Amino acid sequence: MSVNYSALPEGAQPILSLRKVSKNFGAVAALTEIDLDVYPGEVVAIVGDNGAGKSTLVKTLAGAHSPTTGQIWFEGKEIVMKGPSDALELGIATVFQDLALCENLDVVANIFLGQEKSPLHLDETEMEVKAWTLLNELAARIPNVRDVVASLSGGQRQTVAIARSLLLNPKIIMLDEPTAALGVAQTAEVLNLIERVKEKGLGVIMISHNMQDVRAVADRVVVLRLGKNNGVFNADASNEVLIGAITGATDNAVSRREKRIAELEEQVEVTV
Amino acid sequence: MSNLTDKASQATTTSSTITSPETTGLLDRSDVRVSYTNNFGDAIHAFIDRVKSGDLGSLPVVVGLVLIWGIFTAINPLFLSANNLVNLLFDCSTVGVIALGIVCVLLLGEIDLSIGSMSGVGSAMLGVLWANEGWPIALVIGGSLCVGAIIGFSYAFVRTKFGMPSFVSTLAGLLALLGFQLYILGDTGSINLPYDSALVSFGQLMIIPAWLSYCLVLLPGIVVVVMGLRVRHKRQSVNLSAKSVNGIVFKALVLTVVLEAIVAYLNQSRGVPWMFGLFVVLVICMNYALTRTKWGRSMFAVGGNAEAARRAGINVKAIYISAFVTCSTLATLGGILAAARLASASQQAGTGDVNLNAIAAAVIGGTSLFGGRGSAWSALLGIVVIQSIANGLTLLNLSSAHRYMITGAVLAIAVIVDSLARQSRVTHGKA
């Protein structure tokens, strides 16, 4: 379980550190003593089975839940977040799974939603320029920022949601299942996007069920199981190791299935 | 993965080589997949495409108006006489103000069915407190508007606090307010307003002087040119595409010529009523608030996706409150104007078709019943259509029985057009 931090610059400080963070909902311990570090310019994937506590962790970091016990350190200072706006102010941006875009508004309006400057006289030109700048930084291919979001594809919407999260110059961006609803090409686009965000020196936390995507962009893979840390791996860790950590056993449904298929193939070979 | 990245970047490079001869270098014109309108022909094509995809804008109104005016003029040529049109404008102003309020509520995907009763309460309070009790007129109007605001606040309160659908709460409000109207009018039933008062002459007689009306309608054209050139300059300075000077001047000229022609025609008779002027000013203010302020943007956002708006940090409850308060306050104002127009506050004020006329006007004008789509202008355009029908049918000596049936049918058609346009937008990926 040795983790390779050598890619990081010497003496790099994590932007975000969690130490022994727990979250209880009544009798249910959703998170138990979670430790997590995110460094600038790295992508940390959080994987785990259903009910592993991924969403609770995201909501805790987005300020929607406050941890029952434990400490959250941000840029070397311990922080307490009272609500989502606190997280935004600190520089923790979240892209939710359902993206939370208004389909009847155009791309510019969605990117600036709730953050419009000069509330009594909106400066459309300035907002449009800023929108193009953000989208171009992501090398995003949005045909026209004056199109309503309803006319965009799933990948393009994801792009708009990510561009919106970058508006306030966050230090960390969290993506909840960014590729869950996307096709092959759109998934590739979003993965490119994540790499570009990383190149900008931001820390990225990505939650995903898709091992292939995780392997493609993540620097480290943090496995959660039943609300606890169940290992930190490099992206090149083998599938069996990761799945073993996720399911908590070397003998699990996935490995049993693989074994059965292998046995079947052997039988076929024998009969042939 | 790397393979995919390569392909993506390859695609970008090939596409950029294709465009290089005609690349404009503008920030918003770099995507080759989009065709842009460059000349008049393109603009017409773009317009046809927009309509086909269900983005009807004000087209139903224009078609409706031409149809209605054509039919009524064919039956009774008096319909298009300047004198009749001036009367039409007087009638438009009262229900139009109510329709302007309902636009706010419809934008959120909510509804207020009590606007008719609310306007009735407004006129009843005016009659009782001003005509009977002799309170100062400013105090009475201010007080009535405050009552309207409180009623609107209570709708928003039960909507946001208890999740009570506005359809139900305002239906309850319809009956309760009607009761309140009858209660404060008491046994008299109908109160005549002093005929020589400023308010009544505002509602019946006061006309913008001809010279002033000619000057006032120059303003829109001037604003179009000044703002158009300013925006153009600003967009050019930050490397965005801008409208051509010719286009701006052409638009301003057409607007000015059309408006001057209308005013000239109306001035053959009495001219443009001040009350209609007030209505237009309210529409312009509302249009500015909806399109150029953070409040307006938030209204559209809440109407489109309330949860997304909440997560973007918009105070959704405050938006609901502002919409319902605006709606009820404007409904009260509409009631006061209607009382001034009729020079009386009666038990019939605000009953009958006022409710549906206001809602129908907003919907016909292009404000969607499903929320997130519409404009302040829809109140103005829609009410002209609705009031033309009422006015034309009256000229034909048709009873209110026929009027109700026909207005009901028109409302149904308007909602069907709205629904069809919405379905079309969905299939064209625009809703």
This complex has an ipTM of 0.84
Q: How far is A191 from chain B (nearest CA, A)?
A: 9
Residue B16, pLDDT > 60, answer no
Rounded average pLDDT over B377-394: 91
Q: How far is B384 from chain A (nearest CA, A)?
A: 27
The answer to whether the CB atoms of B313 and A105 lie below 8 A apart is no
Q: What is the pLDDT of residue B429?
A: 66
Please give the C-alpha separations between residue A132 and each of A136, A160, A177, B239, B259, in angstroms, as whole numbers: 6, 11, 25, 11, 38
Encode pLDDT of B304-361 as tens digits: 999 889 888 888 999 999 999 999 999 999 999 999 999 999 988 888 889 889 998 9
The answer to whether the CB atoms of A188 and B5 lie below 8 A apart is yes
Residue B50 lies in a domain: no
User: A212, A132, A197: which is closest to A165 by C-alpha?
Assistant: A197
Q: What is the pLDDT of residue B350?
A: 87
Rounded average pLDDT over B360-381: 90
Greater confidence, B158 or A190? B158
3-state secondary structure of B418: helix
The answer to whether the CB atoms of B305 and A101 lie below 8 A apart is yes
Strand A43-48 to strand A69-74: parallel, antiparallel, or no bridges (unpaired)? unpaired
Residue B247 lies in a domain: no
Q: What is the pLDDT of residue B285?
A: 97
Q: How far is B388 from chain A (nearest CA, A)?
A: 32
Share of chain B above pLDDT 90, in %: 62
Strand A28-38 to strand A16-25: parallel, antiparallel, or no bridges (unpaired)? antiparallel
Please give the C-alpha separations between residue A14 and each of A41, A73, B276, B330, B365, in angstroms, as whole numbers: 10, 9, 65, 56, 56
> Residue B404's domain spans which residues?
58-206+273-424
Token pair belonging to A57:
């962790």
The answer to whether the CB atoms of B431 and A104 lie below 8 A apart is yes
CB-nearest partner of B431 from A88, A150, A192: A150
The number of domains in chain B is: 1
Q: Of 3.40.50.150, 3.40.190.120, 3.40.50.300, 3.90.330.10, which CATH number belongs to A16-103+170-237?
A: 3.40.50.300
In chain A, where are the structural domains located? 16-103+170-237
Which of B 152-181 lie inside 8 A of A, CB atoms?
none
Residue B423, pLDDT > 90, answer no
Q: What is the pLDDT of residue B277?
A: 96
A191 and B CB contact within 8 Å: yes
In sign, the C-alpha dihedral spanning B166, B380, B284, B288 is positive
Q: Which residues of B202-240 are buried (b: 16+ CB within 10 A; e: fewer)?
A: bbeeebbebeebbeebeeebeebbeebeebbebbeeeeb
pLDDT tier at A1, thresholds 50, 70, 90? very low
B212: left (phi over 0), alpha (psi -120 to 50) or beta: alpha
Q: What is the pLDDT of residue A139?
A: 77
Report whether A22 contacts A69 (CB < 8 A).
yes
Report whether A131 contacts B246 (CB < 8 A).
no
B contacts of A99 (beta carbons < 8 Å): 308
pLDDT tier at B42, thresholds 50, 70, 90? confident
Give the CATH number, domain containing residue B125: 1.10.3470
Mean pLDDT of chain A: 85
Residue B404 lies in a domain: yes
Dist CA B327 CA B103 (whole Å) = 8
pLDDT tier at B288, thresholds 50, 70, 90? very high
Q: For tokens 């009969």, what's the residue?
A: A271
Q: What is the pLDDT of residue A208?
A: 87
Q: How far is A235 from chain B (nearest CA, A)?
A: 14
The answer to whether the CB atoms of A114 and B313 lie below 8 A apart is yes
Greater confidence, B31 or B241? B241
Residue B240 lies in a domain: no
3-state secondary structure of B74: helix
Residue A267, pLDDT > 90, answer no
pLDDT tier at B33, thresholds 50, 70, 90? low
Rounded average pLDDT over B210-224: 95
How many CB pairs below 8 A link A and B? Answer: 112
